[in-house]
Amino acid sequence: MLTTTLTNLKLKNPIMLAAGIMGTTGGSLKRIARCGAGAVVTKSIGIEPKYGHPNPSMVKLECGYLNAMGLPNPSYKVFQPEIDEARHGGVPVIASIFGGGASEFTEIAGAIDADAFELNVSCPHAQGYGAEIGTDPVLVEEITKAVKKATDAPVWVKLTPNVTDIKQIGLAAQRGGADAVVAINTVRGMAIDIESGYPILGNRFGGLSGAAIKPVAIKAVHDLYTVLDIPVIGCGGISKWKDAVEFIMAGARAVQVGSAVG
């Protein structure tokens, strides 16, 4: 049996949809759930509507995908119906949320009804958000603690690999009361069109995902597993069942799949 319990959520299997473009609508989340996912994670949702970065915002490379979406979202104020529809898929729905500080995170967590929250403190290409917060253990602990006070739902913290020591960020999340950590988000990267001499992405740089980052993610999961008392959820470069097994062998309790289904 593949059934597992993760932060008090019962999953029919340990394979989840990662936060990303497939989690933009309740309909797409429901379809992924009915295709067999054990749980689904929404696109990251913030306080106010954001249009994101200019196109091109996602490009396919030989080694994976490079994206700089810029956290586009309609605002949490209009997103609850999408979560409600996604729940018809019959699996837990985790809301990925972001903010510029503890007050924004808590406002969202206090207003949305979801089965769990995933704190995006790891997006590498959004000024004032994501990794600009997630590289500071003091801020990670502060935000996690605040969100735990704002909701009774489990709180997961998604970590950035773009740090000197991811263990210190994971420990900060644990001190803040996180129920689990997710590792990893994308790796900072850039690609240039040699014909034009300009960066391929409209934002110039972005985050690399796909097969190329799997060894980085495996190492991060293993490092976190050795120091944390809370579950580690693996994410990054999973495209086949053997990848998922590798993450579980490294210490992951469950895994998330993003680029392979996007």
Q: What is the pLDDT of residue 22?
A: 85
Q: Which of 35, 63, 123, 235 is catalytic?
A: 123
Mean pLDDT in the chain? 94
pLDDT of residue 132: 81
- Total-model pTM: 0.95
Say how many residues make up the chain: 262
Q: Specify the amino acid at residue 129.
A: Y
DSSP output for 120-182: E---TTSTTSTHHHHT-HHHHHHHHHHHHHH-SS-EEEEPPS-SS-HHHHHHHHHHTT-SEEE
Report in angstroms the alpha-carbon separations of 1 from 13, 234, 240. Answer: 8, 20, 19
Tell the CATH superfamily of the 4-261 domain.
Aldolase class I (3.20.20.70)
Between helices 214-227 and 241-250, what is the axis angle to 10°? 30
- Ordered by start, the domain boundaries in the chain are 4-261
Dihedral sign (CA 90, 183, 243, 229):
negative
Task: Kindly calculate the radius of gyration of the chain based on its CA atoms and give it in whole angstroms.
Answer: 17
Q: Per-residue pLDDT tens for 117-153?
A: 999 998 766 767 777 889 999 999 999 999 999 999 9
Question: Is 123 part of the annotated catalytic residue set?
Answer: yes
Please determine, for residue 157, whether its predicted confidence score (pLDDT) is greater than 90: yes
Please give the full DSSP string across 213-252, using - where no structure is assigned.
GHHHHHHHHHHHHHH-SS-EEEESS--SHHHHHHHHHHT-
- Kindly report, residue by residue over 71-110, the tens digit of the pLDDT: 989 999 999 999 999 999 999 999 999 999 999 999 999 9
pLDDT at residue 169, rounded to an integer = 98
Express each pLDDT in 197-227 by its tens digit: 999 998 999 999 999 999 999 999 999 999 9
